Amino acid sequence: MTHPPLRLWILDPFHTGSHASWSKGMCQILQEAGHEVTMHTLPGRHWKWRMHGAAATWAPLMKDAQPPHVVITTDMCDVAQLKGLMPRTWRDVQVVTMFHENQLTFPWSPDDPDRDNGRDNTYAYVNLSTVMASDQVWFNSHHHMNVFFEAAQQWMDAMPKPHVPFRAEHMRAKSRVVHLGLDLQGWERHRGLVTTSRKADVPTILWNHRWAWDKGTDAFLSFARDILERNIPAQFVILGQSFARRPNGWDALQKDLDRRCLQWGYAESKEAYISWLWECDIVPVEPHQEYFGLSVVEAMRCEVMPWVPNAHAYPETTPDDVAHLSSDQWIEALLQGTWQRNGRQRASCREQAMCFDWSQRAPAILHLLTRLTAESR
């Protein structure tokens, strides 16, 4: 059966990093399927203000626009506010919210004063009211959906009476797991392009995540310091997005690694980034939260072996035949030569990563949207 083309708006309140990659990928697959897509974005900074103000920023754009069938936005938008500000002509528009992360279970930085004075509850409730107001809710992993609803009911029950009628099981009924889509095609053409003094018989250790506390910089720093103190042969490639405020000890690491560090800092292009991934052997990470693990999947695409705990979303995103390793096992695994990948492990990592290519994810997403609009008519 051929479905008529849909009109869709994509509203990305925090257009940077994985959020931007996902919204642009969504726009592309929807347009390639023949749908009409309008995308509006806001800069990926001041996330707290985005949660408060994104909806009001976009509402005037709707006044004279033809209503779409579906608005797709993210957890950084207050959907209850967005729906309240929509023109009357938009009353039948379906709103889908993609949860990349959530402020209910996301570990707040120890340096953020909002955590100590209780203002973090404000952002948790924005996410909760967004779930209540959305017509469909997408989570980027089963892990994410499960921890969110477990915490949501507890949070609501702890609030003053009369309680908001939020029943997690009812909210789950309109929730779906929609793993992230990534553009992973043709990465082999970037292999072998880096000219370095890399030693083939020495492990090359990768960091390709945000330079932020929640990604487990403390565990990685401890691992690197241990390697230096024991003088264990190893090389490092340090990639990922940096910010004005960096984790304690991070800047000093570059100096301490000295010649062991083959690359330090954000890659100048996507092609350069992929080329560096191909140079690495292992990607050890033990985050304080991980709802999907995009950077690990990208590393696996280049046959880099994940050293990750049996926790978070990793059981969903990493191969079954590659052992989970927590940070207290990394040094021993390094000494035992576990970093040396065989052909089977390389293939498993590559094939697992390709499960998240847009070509694999698009059919399920398109089916969800066409079914949602059909049911709402």
Q: Residue 114: what pLDDT?
A: 62
pLDDT tier for residue 375 given thresholds of 50, 70 and 90: confident
**Mean pLDDT throughout 14-32?**
96
One domain for residues 155 and 271:
no
Answer whether 1's CB lies under 8 Å from 26's CB. Answer: no
Whether residue 111 is predicted with pLDDT greater than 80 in this model: the reply is: no
User: Does residue 167 lie within any of the structural domains?
Assistant: yes
Shared domain for 303 and 363, answered yes or no, is no
Is the CA virtual torsion 322, 324, 327, 331 positive or negative?
negative
Q: Is residue 256 part of a domain?
A: yes
At residue 2 the predicted structure's pLDDT band, cuts being 50, 70 and 90, is low
Contact present, 117 and 251 (Cβ < 8 Å): no
Residue 363 lies in a domain: yes
- Residues 139 and 311 sit within 8 Å (Cβ to Cβ): no
Together in a domain, 13 and 117: yes
User: Do 147 and 274 belong to one domain?
Assistant: no
pLDDT at 269: 95
Same domain, 162 and 217: no
Specify whether 127 is located in the same domain as 272.
no
Size of the chain in residues = 377
Q: Which residues contact 181 (CB under 8 A, 6 or more apart)?
A: 22, 25, 26, 29, 356, 357, 358, 360, 361, 362, 365
349, two tokens = 């990592």
In a domain, 54, yes or no: yes
**What's the domain count of the chain?**
2
Residues 205 and 340 in one domain: yes
Mark whether 344 and 366 lie in a shared domain: no
Span 297-356, pLDDT tens digits = 999 999 999 999 999 999 999 999 999 999 999 999 999 999 999 999 999 999 999 999
Q: Is the same domain home to 192 and 329?
A: yes
Q: What is the mean pLDDT of the chain?
A: 94
**Would the pTM count as exceeding 0.75?**
yes
Query: What would the mean pLDDT of 1-23 be, rounded to a whole number?
Result: 91
Element (H, E) at 71: strand 70-74
Q: Is residue 2 part of a domain?
A: no
The verdict on 159 and 246 lying in the same domain is: no
pLDDT of the residue at 167: 83
Here the CATH number for the domain that contains residue 371 is: 3.40.50.2000
Residue 1 within a domain: no
* pLDDT of amino acid 1: 43
Residue 339 domain-assigned (yes or no)? yes
324 and 349 belong to one structural domain: yes
pLDDT at 242 (0 to 100): 86
Give residue 166's pLDDT. Answer: 83
- Residue 227: its pLDDT value, please? 98
Q: Tell me, yes or no, whether 363 and 322 share the same domain.
A: no
**Does residue 169 belong to any structural domain of this protein?**
yes
- What end-to-end distance do the CA atoms of the chain give, in Å? 17
- pLDDT on residue 116: 61
Which domain range does residue 131 map to?
A: 7-181+358-376
Better-scored residue on pLDDT, 109 or 35: 35
